[in-house]
Structure 1
Amino acid sequence: MENTRQQGTHHYVLTLDLPGREMATWTGTVTPGPADTRHDLYVFLREHITADQPRFARANVVFFALESNAL
């Protein structure tokens, strides 16, 4: 399998829940900066998601994974 599209160095999955109303999952790739931590990426992703979907700003985190995108 060949992927012609550039991907980030890490793959993430983030699921947020508004209890009794809505649950959603976001996935993708990202390349952290040399000084970035796992927490930095978590905060970045939450801010990125809630900028586009403000209703999730106070949602509960059901799942968060950040792994190397290499096999």
Structure 2
Amino acid sequence: MTTQTQQTTRPAAQQQGSHHFILTLQKPHGGGYITATFTNTFTPHPGDTRTDIYEVLFEQVTRANPELAKANVMFFSLEPNGL
């Protein structure tokens, strides 16, 4: 009996950051809430702390989405981007 294996190819991965983050924000708006989740990769500067990265990401997200200025953080995760 002969067994064949098929190898699949994947497109070259884009350059990714060293860490993956998820940030969910919520803010009252009208009679309800605006809730948004942001996810991406990020490479911190040498010596950065988790707090430094959180503050940078929160500032970048709210600058790009002014309607979320002063929003509450519902969830924040920062993990090394590797398996």
2-side partners of 1:37 and 1:10: how far apart?
Answer: 12
Residues 55 and 32 of structure 1, relative CA distance in 2, 3 Å threshold: same
Counterparts of 1:6-45 in structure 2, within 5 Å, are 6-19=15-28, 20-45=32-57
1-side partners of 2:70 and 2:49: how far apart?
Answer: 22
Percent of aligned positions that are identical: 51
Report the number of matched residues: 71
1-side partners of 2:60 and 2:40: how far apart?
Answer: 12
Residues 28 and 39 of structure 1, relative CA distance in 2, 3 Å threshold: same
Q: When the two structures are superposed, what TM-score results if normalisation uses the length of structure 2?
A: 0.79
Structure with bigger gyration radius: 2
Cα RMSD, aligned residues only: 1.3
* Structure 1 gap ranges (5+): none
1-side partners of 2:12 and 2:49: how far apart?
Answer: 27
* Structure 2 gap ranges (5+): 1-9
